[in-house]
Structures are given as structure tokens and as C-alpha cells.
Amino acid sequence: MRFLNLSFLRSSARSALCSASVSAWVSIIGLRCPALLPLLAVLFGRLTSSKVPAPFDKIGRRSLESDIEDLMPRPVSGARRSLILLYNNYYHFLHLAEGLRRRGWDAVLVNLENPRSPSSRYFHGEDVNLFTEDPEMYERRLQDLYRLIPRRFRMLQFTGMQHMSIFPENFGSGSNPGLPWDFLALKGAGVKIGYTISGCNDGIRQSVFRRHTGVCTKCAWENQPHVCSDARNFPWGQMLSRMCDLVACEEDYALDYRTLAIGFQEPLTMCLDPEKWKPDLAVPSHLKIPREEGEILILHGFGNKAARTLNGRDIKGSHAIHTATERLRSEGRKVRLIAPVDVPSVDMRFLQVQSDIIVDQLNYGRYGAQAREGQMLGKPTICFLDARQGGGLDSPRGLRESPLVQATEDTIYDVLKRLVDNPESRREIGRRSRIHAVKWHSADACARRFEEVYDQLMSGIPPAKALTTD
């Protein structure tokens, strides 16, 4: 093979193939014969990219070239378990890493994103951010992170649709899920790959979700195929099913690839710090909400509202919440709706803790960050729950035990009226909500659960078979 001119092949491949077409062919062949996918991905990765670092078997004979080892936290001495968390997942990965370190893990959250990006308003920090404005230094850091991972970590947990790579040029878009040759190489080096989902369009076909829930008619993205469609969602779900050893479903709907043995249904990575979300949280003066004596505050927050609303329609049922609150006001009740939009995540809890009632969503059937935070703060929280699962699976136990107050667009007025008129009921539901959130969503509880899943995964037991102590 010495006569083979790799530089010439790379040049020819770049002129003949774009990353989208390469990824498409790899996916097609991989669907026919998944066993060939790793070999094909590495081959095409080397042909189409001049940035492919040296093989892992040469790592020990070369030094890391950038400042990454100075930037990364030092390994925990004597740690038997190790995990790198890639990308932020709001604040969840940050608190999971903290919880795992309290259990003796070498766990590090690494973010690669510009701290001034629009999504940074949802972040609460990270252990290290490798982004730099210097493109050459940034590339060296990414390559050295790629080399460092198999030397230090036995597992990688990432998040973000189409972000299955350390290198941005490998990210997918639309129906092209990208070509993650680096993740394939990491798997070949023995690193387990885990993924945390972000919603219904994260790899689930719209047609499947519509048949199971019927909720797509409430969603502004139903007829926006560049955001949600079978053609866009399915290839990404297929890539996750082939690549991942663990998919953290976080009590969301188990459909398509999430019904496989790689899926863990209970809360696992989306966790909170009970001390940062506590019922007696002190509120900074600039975030205090003035209120009249005896006034009941109802909070309904909505991130990315403009993008998720079309002709007054949205998945949360916001219009019904506004209508119900106005009706209660017209009947003489002292209620006021607090509807923050695009508030930085680090500030949201200070608004939530001042509310008397929190409303999450009335259509989707599962709960998200707003409800988790509301429960942790000890607030009665309203949400529509649909516990049905796909694939013949039982509904998650955490979902069955939830003290969330059930409501739909049709019943929200009656539910709000009952809570507004009954302060003792609000207090009791809030008390039970805090207990539930600490049990299922605290950083320490999720870290203990993750450790059990990790240990069994390393022993060859798939996540769906993992036993938990909860």
C-alpha cells in the first residue's frame, strides 16, 4: 500500500464527493449491512477530510499539541468510573457531573460552543469550554480532545440533534445525519456512547408520533418539514440506533428507536441541584415581582415562543391558559398571569419561586424543564400527562408517581379555579412535588441511577434491562 498516494485520493474525493452524498451512501449501505458502517465511515472520513488525526494506536508515541491538558480539570485520583459529557444540555449535564464527582467519578462537562451564542442563555456554566476565536487553536483543541478521550474516559454522553461529533464539519442537517467518523473510532477504541434526547422530533418519525399521540395538530412545526418530518427525523433516529450504547429517554415517549434495548426510560441525565431550586430561595431585588395583597400569581414560561407559535397555535396550549386566567379575573378573583419569554435560564427560578401556581403544557403529554423546576421549588404544577408508551413498554415509574396536576386546554379553567380557591391544596401538592423532584430529578439521585446503568452497561447488560434502586 506504500504506492497509494493518500493526499491525491483526498483531493480527488473532495472534488467528486460532498459530505452529504458520502453520508447518504454510508447510511444506505449501513442500513443494508450495519457491520460495515464503522469501516466505511472511517474510510470515507480519511478520504474526504485532511483533519483526521493519527490513529489511536499512535497516541502514546506523540504529545498533545494544544493547551487542552492545562484547560481540562485534573482526573480524580483513584476514580474507577469515568465519563465525558459533551455539550451542555441546558444546566443538566453540569449538575450530573457534579453529582457523579461526589460519588468518586472522573466526570467532566466539556462545551465546544461559543459562549456568546444565542443558546448560551440556557446554560449555567460548564467545567471547561474549549471554544476560542482562533480557528487554528480551536481545531487543535478539538483534535487533542479526540485523542484524549480514549486515554481518560470510558464513556461519552452527548446531546443535540445532528451533533454526533466533536468536529462541526461532521454535524448533520436535514435528512443527512452527518458522518461521525470520530465517534465510530471512539467506539472502536472501547468508549461507550450515550445520548440524551431533546424532544419528539429528535429521531422519531412524525407519522409515528402522530398516530400514537394525535398531538401534532397542536404543533406549529407540523407542516414545517425542515424542522419535523419523517424524511428529516428518521435518518437521525437510525444513526442513533446504530451508534449509541445508551439513549436517555428521560420519561419522554418511547417510539421508534427509543423502544430498543439501548433506551432507558426513567430520569437519568436531566437533573437539578436541590439547593439552587429550593422553596425558600432568596430572590435578588431586581427580579422581585410586585404584587397586591392577596394576589395569586400563575406562571407560564415559554422558551423560543416566536419559533414555536404559528397563528396562535403552540404545543403548550398557551392561549387556553391566558383565556382561563382572564376568565378568573373577570369573575373577581385576584389572579395574574406571569408569562416570561426568553428569560435567561439562570434567572427563571427566581420568578418561579414567587409564583403560587405553575403551568407547564396542556397538549404534549409529558413534562419538561418548567415542570421539573416547578416541582423542585415545591410549587403545584399543572401539566397534561399521557403515560402510554410504544413498543409494549410500561410507562415510566417516575411518570406514574408524579404529583403533577392534570389539565388539558378544555379543563384548565376548572383546574386553575380549584387551585386558586384552595390554598391548603396548593401547599400539600407543593410539598409532595418537592419530595418527588428530589427523588427523581436531583443531581444525586440521577448520579446514583446513572452509576447503576453504567456499571451494567460495562458488564454487557443493555440499559433497558438495568435495575435501579428507586
CA torsion, ordered 369, 373, 376, 378, to nearest 10 deg: -130
- Look at residue 18 in the predicted model and tell me its pLDDT: 45
Q: Note the pLDDT tens digit of each residue in 40-65.
A: 655 655 555 545 555 554 444 345 55
Tell me whether residue 259 is in a domain. yes
Same-domain status, 257 and 349:
no
- Look at residue 310 in the predicted model and tell me its pLDDT: 66
Same-domain status, 171 and 140:
yes
Same-domain status, 108 and 246:
yes
Whole-number percent of the chain with pLDDT over 70: 83
User: Mean pLDDT over residues 247-261, rounded?
Assistant: 96
Same-domain status, 253 and 297:
no
Tell me whether residue 432 is in a domain. yes
- Look at residue 93 in the predicted model and tell me its pLDDT: 96
Same-domain status, 316 and 187:
no
CATH of the domain at 426: 3.40.50.2000
Same-domain status, 189 and 251:
yes
Same-domain status, 306 and 333:
yes
Tell me whether residue 73 is in a domain. no
Same-domain status, 312 and 425:
yes
Residue the block writes with cell 435560564: 345
- Look at residue 38 in the predicted model and tell me its pLDDT: 55
Tell me whether residue 207 is in a domain. yes
How many structural domains does the chain have? Answer: 2
Same-domain status, 308 and 216:
no
pLDDT at 16 over 90: no
CA atoms within 13 A on the CB side of 409: 12
Q: Note the pLDDT tens digit of each residue in 153-189.
A: 999 999 999 999 999 999 998 888 888 889 988 998 8
Same-domain status, 330 and 408:
yes
User: Mean pLDDT over residues 326-351, rounded?
Assistant: 93
Residue range(s) defining the domain that contains residue 325? 285-441
pTM for the whole structure: 0.88
Q: Note the pLDDT tens digit of each residue in 300-321.
A: 987 665 656 666 677 899 999 9
Cβ neighbour number for residue 351 with a 10 Å cutoff: 19
Same-domain status, 310 and 356:
yes
pLDDT at 412 over 90: yes
Q: Of the ranges 85-99, 102-116, 172-186, which one carries the lowest mean pLDDT score?
A: 172-186
Same-domain status, 416 and 458:
no
Q: How far is CA 49 from CA 13, 41, 42, in A?
A: 9, 12, 10
Tell me whether residue 222 is in a domain. yes
User: Which is nearest to 273 in space by CA: 156, 140, 124, 84?
Assistant: 124
